[in-house]
Structure 1
Amino acid sequence: MTVTGASHPVARESRSAAASARRLRAFFAERAPARIYVVYAVLWVLALQGTLALLSPERDWKLGGSLVAEIATIYLALLFIRVVDEQKDLEYDRLHSPDRPLPRGAIDVRELRIAMALIVVAELALTGWRSPLLVGWLLLNLSYICLLVGLERWSATVRDRIFVNLLVSYPAQAMLSVHIWLSFREATGAGPGSHAVLGALLCAGVFMHYEFARKTGATVVPGATLYSNVVGLRGSVALTVGCALTGMALVLGVIRPWELHGTVTLAGWLPLTALGFLWGGAERFTSSNTPTWPPGPAMGYLAWLYLGVFVAALAVVRPGIGG
């Protein structure tokens, strides 16, 4: 007797895998669009490695395979964070964002965990050929991200108090900045710990501007995860603006454009123009009666500042092309 393809277990499994792949593709297109996540990963790595190159100008910084591999590593780590956050926030999303993929049933937890496993395999491939240290640090980072799920379920304080949650969850981002520094050090042999700290602080200030901006509301919204619900509108705006200015001050302190000469000076001052996005966001928030600080200008500030740092590093350091 012949078994038809429609009833064969292998055929059914193949169709199920194909359906899961389509669902995952749709999930990432909705919750982690490439135009945002890829651009962020590219600019983050280029800006931080550019910062490290400016701090260690005597070293041979190259735009090559190692840099591309690090960008891919950070991009996949960001996807991993997105997948974990989707599971971690499920109960909150069922109440406040039921249209998101997981609560509405467009994806399930099993499929998200398969995606996590595939990402880990890809990350091992991207870091294994470069350095065991990069592998170990990345696995530590991904493990910490997973630990956050259990921590939020165990602790109501971590889950419900937004500043405590930020204090606990931001180290996942900071550890990625350290990974970028380790990648730079492996590729160039440079980069003392003080450079890593300064670079991480710079990235923290820039990212925190976006973090506080997108969760700053004009009014108190009961149950919403807004920093302004806790510290008030003025306090949240002060954090938003203060982080942007702190990030800018650190950038200018690294580049020191007032000490440059000729056309390089223009590249050195380029990051300062990112303040236009800060001004635009503040103006829209105060004059247009928007319920929250507009995320577009906040992301624009981050992207343009990072781009400016990389351009300045290119102009000042003039890296080589290679591995």
Structure 2
Amino acid sequence: MTLTGTPRPLSGAPRRPTETARRLAAFLAERAPWRVYATYAVLWVCALESTLAVLTPGTDWTVGGSLLVEVVTVYLALLFVRVVDEQKDLEYDRLHHPDRPLPRGAIDVRELRVAMVLIVVAELGLTGWRSLLLTGWLLFGLLYICFLVQLERWSATVRDRIFVNLLVSYPVQAILSVHIWLSFREATGGGSAPHALVGGLLCMFVFLHFEFARKTGAQEVPGATLYSNVVGLRGSLALTVGCALAGTALVLAVVRPWELHGAAALAGWLPVTALGFLATGAERFAALRTPTWPTGPAMGYLAWQYLGLSVAALAVVRPGIGG
């Protein structure tokens, strides 16, 4: 699985800009639907920034322009990851997923690289006017994403060993979490490094529940990229369930709903209900209705946990909202 510019996808006369734009739009609609990617960006940024606001009493944090700009910045970074991954996995997809846009010829490598350039330009515009630190850190993240492609080419261990691959690829999420923290500091002047660490760990556990869940299989499948192939079913289930419980516990430690009153207390306990998605996924998986842990409940846990955290944090930061 390498980022490759083989003659086939790069050959042919250049297309008109309007045709390239149409093909890119169709590609993104299929491989990076905005409802999923934009929703994730909104929930992630809101959850992490609201966590920082709770941990920094007196911070003048509002749901406003700075937060919106950071959401768009993170959303574009996620699109960049998707575009790079499609190129990285081209050879694999030709064998196993020939119906995807790049192997079937609905888009080519040149057009995807045009998209990468356009995203970088847009990101420079979104961050450059805020601070050089935000711009530099984001560019570091985008360069790291591209570096991972070469790393997988150079190292069979990174490419083929799923836990090693997770170890070197998760920093992309961590880098973006740091960017959200830096944006929060730029906008409010608050948010210490220890508070950022708490927020980053919280987001890590919530994300890793989804990551482990979607690659936990009921049976060992030779050649499949499943965590359960390496640590066994029990080990993979322990990671899946453990991350969900750890994420929820950290959310409660941040919000401390037992110290709230009235409607604010109800809002504070809202993140706990995300465990309902954990229970649903476990029930479906245990009943062997799906060969792997169902993706829907895993995504539901992530989305509902972030939404619940944001609502609960608002009840703490803006108690007048909760009553």
Contact 1:61 1:319 in 2 (8 A): no
Counterpart for residue 285 of structure 1: 285
The alignment's TM-score, normalised by the length of structure 2, stands at 0.93
2:110 maps to 110
- What is the Cα deviation at residue 281 of structure 1? 0.6
Note if 1:158 corresponds to 2:151: no
Structure 1 residue 232, shift from structure 2 partner: 1.3
Are 1:218 and 2:243 an aligned pair?
no
Task: In structure 1, give the amino acid aligned to 2:156.
Answer: A
Within the alignment, does 1:130 sit opposite 2:130 as a pair?
A: yes
State the Cα deviation string for residues 132-175 of structure 1 (Å, max 9, x = none). Answer: 11001000000000100100011100000010000000001110
Quote the Cα distance in structure 2 between the aligned partners of 1:111 and 1:177.
Answer: 29
Compared CA separation, residues 114 and 319, structure 1 to 2 (3 A): farther
One-letter code of the match for 2:247?
G
Matched residues, number: 308
| CA drift at 1:127 | 0.7
Question: Residue 219 of structure 1 aligns to a residue in which SS?
Answer: coil
What do you get for the CA RMSD once the two structures are aligned? Answer: 1.4
CA distance in 1, matches of 2:285, 2:94: 28
The structure-2 alpha-carbon separation of the partners of 1:319 and 1:179, relative to structure 1 and needing over 3 Å to count, comes to farther
* Bigger relative CO (Cα 8 Å, ≥ 6 apart): 1
Alignment of 1:63 with 2:63, yes or no, is: yes
The answer to whether structure 1 residue 312 and structure 2 residue 312 are counterparts is: yes
* Shift, 1:16, TM fit: 2.3
Contact 2:264 2:319 in 1 (8 A): no
Amino acid in the other structure paired with 2:157: T
Contact 1:50/1:313 (CA < 8 Å) preserved in 2? yes
Confirm or deny: 8 A CA contact 1:62 1:319 kept in the other structure.
no
What letter matches 2:273 in structure 1? T
Percent identity between the two aligned chains: 76
Structure 1: gaps (5+ residues): 1-11
What's the offset of the Cα at 1:92?
A: 2.1
Matched residues in 2 for 1:158 and 1:216: separation?
19
In 1, Cα distance between the equivalents of 2:168 and 2:103? 25
Partner of 2:302: 302
**C-alpha distance in structure 2 between counterparts of 1:163 and 1:104, whole Å:** 30
The DSSP-based 3-state class of the residue aligned with 2:170 is helix
Q: 1:248-287 maps to which residues of 2 (within 5 A)?
A: 248-287=248-287
- Partner residue, 1:35: 35
- Structure with greater Cα Rg: 1
Residue by residue, what CA displacement relative to the aligned partner does 1:257-284 show, whole Å, maximum 9, x if unpaired? 1111222100100000000000001101
Shift, 1:319, TM fit: 9.2
Partner of 1:96: 96
Q: Does 1:176 align with 2:197?
A: no
Match of 2:75 in 1: 75
Q: 1:268–1:301: structure 2 CA closer, same or farther, 3 Å change rule?
A: same
One-letter amino acid of the counterpart of residue 137, structure 1: W
Match of 1:4 in 2: none
SS at match of 2:218: coil
Mean CA deviation greater in 118-127 or 283-292: 283-292
Scaled by the length of structure 1, what TM-score is found? Answer: 0.93
In 2, the alpha carbon distance for the partners of 1:158 and 1:91 equals: 17
Q: Which amino acid aligns with 1:114?
A: V
Letter in 2 for 1:52: L
In structure 1, distance between residues paired with 2:93 and 2:146: 19
Specify every segment of 5 or more residues in structure 2 that has no aligned partner in the other structure, as ranges.
1-12
